Structure 1
């Protein structure tokens, strides 16, 4: 294993702090542990930390506030097992878990309250209406269905309580950014409560000419029908205007030739517009203390529309490869619509057979996803035809002058609608033969249909697939504070698009095996997990013909590594969050990639996957003039990553430091200050090629005030 000096230092510090403090915490009785009981989460079951044969990380509200996380990408930086991927010019969330990412041409899927509700084109997910973010590592297809082999992200939303409370916060930050958040919950009667959550953000950027506007709301209502049953309705609305921004570029494979501020698009394109309107309804009923049922419905409509001017990737058209200063660009228009509907029912309970306790989950779901895409493009002729600078839509990367040429009108490229329909039934049984030995078995059967209508060619392709996804787990608790586990699972994910003959694809398939040890202090204040894993994946899509938007299922890959996650309360009222992951992810077969015109050899690294990632955050609670105060700091290390598939181009490793402090001026008024990238590190978070590289933000401060009532 190859480790950098910074990574080794962080690992050593983490190990020493954990070892020393865990013992102190276990021996102290002065620390009070508060448990918050919330709504049961779908597909999960009710299991203690030490008896679960998988790794479930909860990024709760306190942790997210300490990290200064406002959107999902920032939240996921807290888990070292998650790596940022190509974010589509800042218009969606894309991430890989344990080395594997989904379809690079679609946003990464995530769950909302257990629903497969993250699909679509609604822009980057804001955390305004989110109570916590769960990183569920390992394969989850046996219960959840179509998913990624490395893990699943689940968002738990803010729901009504039957206590009246509210907050209003206003924040200002560097680059003329202003944000307002509102969160208010109140009972309307003894049986009905509502919650109103919303935000508005108007922000400029360190990137030249970039201005962003976002607004969102997530109201909800809860009705306690009686002591046994409840109905909760939630709405999701957001409207975003974000200019499409492919970032900076490397010149002769060298980053830093141009400023990280330099925008290489055209401000005249205006912003991309992304809209979301979603509804979620959930009914739960408890037959008794042991058996309950949950029924749910979710619908989500999203739309993305706008123009962009982007660096041309084709070597035969790219003038930059000849003179190292003039960038050839292409102009695009996108209008993407997506609608997603899910129905779900789940029965959960327990029973005994002899001395064995069975805790079971049995359920079924049905979902329909329609993905409607209109894509237009205009690009330059080949350099061999000696095109003019206007035909190249050229711009000087060292002295960009916007609006030199009239913006060309894109021509038809792709016009298609894809429909995916799936029905699944699932079960899970965790059998406890004693207080220390548990076995988990489960599986899911999916029946899947896909239809792809190409409106340009007036052709229709249909395909069907049935798939069973099994899971197996085993847990052995060696003491009240330690357990060992083993887990096996299979995953599948249907693939979008067609090959050059117009045919669909067999699903992407994977097999995952992991083993680990979990440890916890006696009072539950500190816990951690050490994991070893291996994931094998086949039928990975690569682009076959970029101009025709066809694909080929040519790739096979594997990922293996180790993880360490530790979190909790240390002595002296210090909270710790620490996460470390070593991931070795590579292609395992030779194939030709027509998208880049390269032969890919077995052993090639996967894009944007660091070998070593580590993050540590510490926070200390104090008293200042008799009022509560919190101070803290976090550090994130990300190893070098492959930046352009099939080449040696790499994004360099980086380390960022952030600090924060909050102070309760009065019992109802809190002020807060955050500084991200304290040392002003110049870094790059992800890329798709050497011409599409996303730079990280420079040192950025934010101050805020929150009024509680």
Structure 2
């Protein structure tokens, strides 16, 4: 039986609260003083309630005077009830202390698979439970990452239907997509700040991964449609503790990690976690080595104000790997392990971030928050790339070295609050954000002689005899590596010019969740976004000067409205519908050589959210339509509006892309010990209403790398008593449907003559696949061990970028982690 100590006091309400009703506030903590997060707190008979947030606190406002039964509940434990008295114009404070400590609560109670409709999201910027929002959200918590032993973000997103790995180009990074549209750096966030997606992020430092599907333009400005992803790192605590672990896996994977936290003083707490990882690969010659550190400090200026300062540093050495290639739009039939680039190929990524955030609770209803983030990103590699052999497998390997530097400054400020206009309740957000983004790309060449650039240009190199050659490094055959003699020397490549592109973004937004009643809520808001890409700054290092022309500056600005409605016929069911508009910036110029305007995107969404089994199981269904009303593609006519245009660099906003889909999300604890996380998505994303003109996309063909069907299911069971106490078992199934890679087909410049063949398709079909993982673990006091076999069926499939980076998925592998908590 749980024991709960309750202290009830009455204090005078804030002077700025003129309501004649009262409020109930308080905290729920564990026996060792840790905040109890995501605990349900409700008033019996009133259908009024909330969940505790990160500090264990809760607020239930606008309660009529009287005596009530306050109920707290959470998965895997009994429900508890206490009597409280609410007085007019006063706040009743309730402090709960649970009998469990934080470790027990994490294992038994607070699971990230529970009630996804009730958890407040930092990515949403408002203290609102998802069930009251006309949006679709997914939260994947630390327990799921530990149970599945997730090493990469691509492992994590398998638990979110409608989100998928879009590309793994060259083994240099992972790119994701949602609802038919690719994420870029604009859609990836860490602790609410936009980050570069070129680095493969570290999973051991994360507390949870939040995904907001659909439109997020109102909150974050220039984002691609489909959704955004936010990684939330572990935060300092005022109790001493930590964990060390060691992970070992197939292909000589070694990964020790540590995580320590505790108080420095009564107002200052710290956390420090980090890891080292070294591994070979199922791919010949491919290896990696990572070092990561993540320190953070939490300073409580007062009971109402705190500052969190954190940073992290990732040093990632890897082997660039552009996969196995394809011939005649068919994936090459070569061994999964075959590596086709030179053995000397190398890659390095370094990413540093520093973030400071402040939160100030003005009173129980109003809060200020803000922050600043700096990011330094440095990635470079040298190899041969673009595996594009001919029909018999011969491939002339092009040499390339790449280097990208970024400095990224981001700031934001938000005000959230609640007030009433008569019987109508308002929960508002007002905010500002700004970014400064400096991107520097370098172009390299090997043929530098006597301090001058050879006239053969940027594709030239110096061979073993000191002679300047052009075009390619050497030739191999992807089916028979012994057919040609491979070169073994690594050419020295020099940067011949760099291009600096500064980008500035600014946004101001307002959002209001209007509660017309307990059953009907309306969400309405608007954002104004401004973006200016400055003229490029090009620096050449050699003569003759082959630097490109300076690009003009480009200015984009747009309003992004959003409106939605939520109807709750009963407390645990919500029907919703929403509309939003956003914009996508475009590169290139129109036929008059002016910068191209942004494309406007309409998004429609409707669905139902349900909580069953006393809030222990959430089942949500969502349908959506996304329309890019003015797709940027080759202009059909020249400046005179009559002459057909054949210049692919001149563009116009003509045609559409459209994505229609349905998603099913299931998450929760049907009964004690059982964790369930599952879902299904259908995506029909294609080109529509495109004009019949040279270079225009053919209508009806699918958008690239978009699976029409995805499905996932993860089931874990923890034994809490009996002879198997301490054991856990689980399995995960992941299905990714057929995709189409390559390049989209376009109308030819001239129609083929009668009897002549049509232009060859540029599409590369990729088949569907299903993988199954199984896990078993055991915990005894402070020690735990868990093992996993992934891809039990040893299924072969591929991640494809365009038509040249065809990377096989991992075969059957094992992974085991031994941990000690203190």
> TM range, normalised to the smaller chain?
0.7 to 0.9
Task: Provide the TM-score with structure 2 as the length reference.
Answer: 0.75
Residues 1:243 and 1:505: Cα distance change in structure 2 (over 3 Å): farther
Q: CA deviation at 1:477?
A: 0.3
> CA offsets, 1:244-268, max 9 Å, x none?
1111123344335101111111121
Tell me the secondary structure at the aligned position of residue 400 of structure 1.
Answer: coil
Q: Which of 1 and 2 has greater Rg? A: 2
Equivalent in 23, 41, 63 of residue 144 of structure 2: 63
> CA offsets, 1:139-168, max 9 Å, x none?
011122111211111111111011111111
Q: CA deviation at 1:119?
A: 2.3
C-alpha distance in structure 2 between counterparts of 1:100 and 1:321, whole Å: 31
Q: CA deviation at 1:311?
A: 3.1
Residues 1:77 and 1:414: Cα distance change in structure 2 (over 3 Å): farther
Q: CA deviation at 1:588?
A: 1.8
Match status 1:361 vs 2:429: yes
> CA offsets, 1:378-397, max 9 Å, x none?
6599xxxxx99994621121
Residues 1:260 and 1:591: Cα distance change in structure 2 (over 3 Å): farther
Q: CA deviation at 1:701?
A: 0.2
Q: Is the 8 A contact 1:589 1:601 kept in 2?
A: no
Residue 675 of structure 1: aligned partner: 789
Residue 563 of structure 1: aligned partner: 663
Match status 1:110 vs 2:225: no
Residue 235 of structure 1: aligned partner: 311
Residue 266 of structure 1: aligned partner: 342
C-alpha distance in structure 1 between counterparts of 2:671 and 2:741, whole Å: 42
Match status 1:376 vs 2:444: yes
> CA offsets, 1:430-488, max 9 Å, x none?
00011110001001111221113151235241122221100001000011221100011
C-alpha distance in structure 1 between counterparts of 2:252 and 2:650, whole Å: 43
Instruction: Give every structure 1 segment of 4 or more consecutive aligned residues whose post-TM-superposition deviation is greater than 6 Å.
Output: 25-29, 35-40, 387-390, 411-414, 497-502, 548-551, 591-594
Q: CA deviation at 1:686?
A: 3.2
C-alpha distance in structure 2 between counterparts of 1:254 and 1:247, whole Å: 14
Equivalent in 385, 391, 397 of residue 478 of structure 2: 397
Match status 1:333 vs 2:391: no
Q: CA deviation at 1:506?
A: 2.1
C-alpha distance in structure 1 between counterparts of 2:284 and 2:586, whole Å: 37
Task: Provide the TM-score with structure 1 as the length reference.
Answer: 0.87
* 1:284-433 equivalent positions in 2, closer than 5 A: 284-311=359-386, 313=388, 320-322=389-391, 324-376=392-444, 391=472, 393-400=474-481, 403-404=486-487, 406-407=489-490, 415-433=498-516
Q: CA deviation at 1:661?
A: 1.2
Residues 1:572 and 1:361: Cα distance change in structure 2 (over 3 Å): closer
Tell me the secondary structure at the aligned position of residue 334 of structure 1.
Answer: strand
Match status 1:573 vs 2:673: yes
Residues 1:549 and 1:192: Cα distance change in structure 2 (over 3 Å): farther
Residue 249 of structure 2: aligned partner: 173
Q: Is the 8 A contact 1:26 1:521 kept in 2?
A: no
Unpaired segments of 5 or more residues in structure 1? 1-24, 314-319, 382-386
Residues 1:436 and 1:258: Cα distance change in structure 2 (over 3 Å): same
Q: CA deviation at 1:68?
A: 2.4
C-alpha distance in structure 2 between counterparts of 1:28 and 1:40, whole Å: 23
C-alpha distance in structure 2 between counterparts of 1:499 and 1:705, whole Å: 59
Match status 1:697 vs 2:810: yes
Residue 707 of structure 2: aligned partner: 610
Residues 1:312 and 1:412: Cα distance change in structure 2 (over 3 Å): farther
Q: CA deviation at 1:627?
A: 4.0
C-alpha distance in structure 2 between counterparts of 1:707 and 1:470, whole Å: 49
Residue 524 of structure 1: aligned partner: 615
Mean CA deviation greater in 436-445 or 68-77: 68-77
Mean CA deviation greater in 61-70 or 469-478: 61-70
Q: Is the 8 A contact 1:165 1:708 kept in 2?
A: yes
The CA RMSD measured in Å over matched residues stands at 3.1
C-alpha distance in structure 2 between counterparts of 1:51 and 1:115, whole Å: 24
Residues 1:680 and 1:154: Cα distance change in structure 2 (over 3 Å): same
Equivalent in 413, 433, 437 of residue 520 of structure 2: 437
Q: CA deviation at 1:634?
A: 0.6
Q: Is the 8 A contact 1:33 1:524 kept in 2?
A: no
Residue 119 of structure 1: aligned partner: 196
Q: CA deviation at 1:416?
A: 1.5
Q: Is the 8 A contact 1:336 1:373 kept in 2?
A: yes
Tell me the secondary structure at the aligned position of residue 265 of structure 1.
Answer: coil
C-alpha distance in structure 2 between counterparts of 1:86 and 1:40, whole Å: 27
C-alpha distance in structure 1 between counterparts of 2:470 and 2:554, whole Å: 45
* 1:184-263 equivalent positions in 2, closer than 5 A: 184-255=260-331, 257-263=333-339
Tell me the secondary structure at the aligned position of residue 649 of structure 1.
Answer: strand
C-alpha distance in structure 1 between counterparts of 2:168 and 2:693, whole Å: 22
State the number of aligned residues. Answer: 659
**Whose relative contact order is higher, 1 or 2, with alpha carbons under 8 Å and at least 6 apart?**
1
Mean CA deviation greater in 147-156 or 41-50: 41-50
Residue 258 of structure 2: aligned partner: 182
Q: Is the 8 A contact 1:331 1:410 kept in 2?
A: no
Tell me the secondary structure at the aligned position of residue 92 of structure 1.
Answer: coil
Unpaired segments of 5 or more residues in structure 2? 1-72, 80-107, 113-117, 446-457, 462-467, 539-546, 636-646, 745-761
Residues 1:551 and 1:396: Cα distance change in structure 2 (over 3 Å): farther
Mean CA deviation greater in 290-299 or 303-312: 303-312
Match status 1:649 vs 2:764: yes
* 1:467-546 equivalent positions in 2, closer than 5 A: 467-495=558-586, 504-521=595-612, 523-538=614-629
C-alpha distance in structure 2 between counterparts of 1:48 and 1:391, whole Å: 57
Residues 1:639 and 1:589: Cα distance change in structure 2 (over 3 Å): same
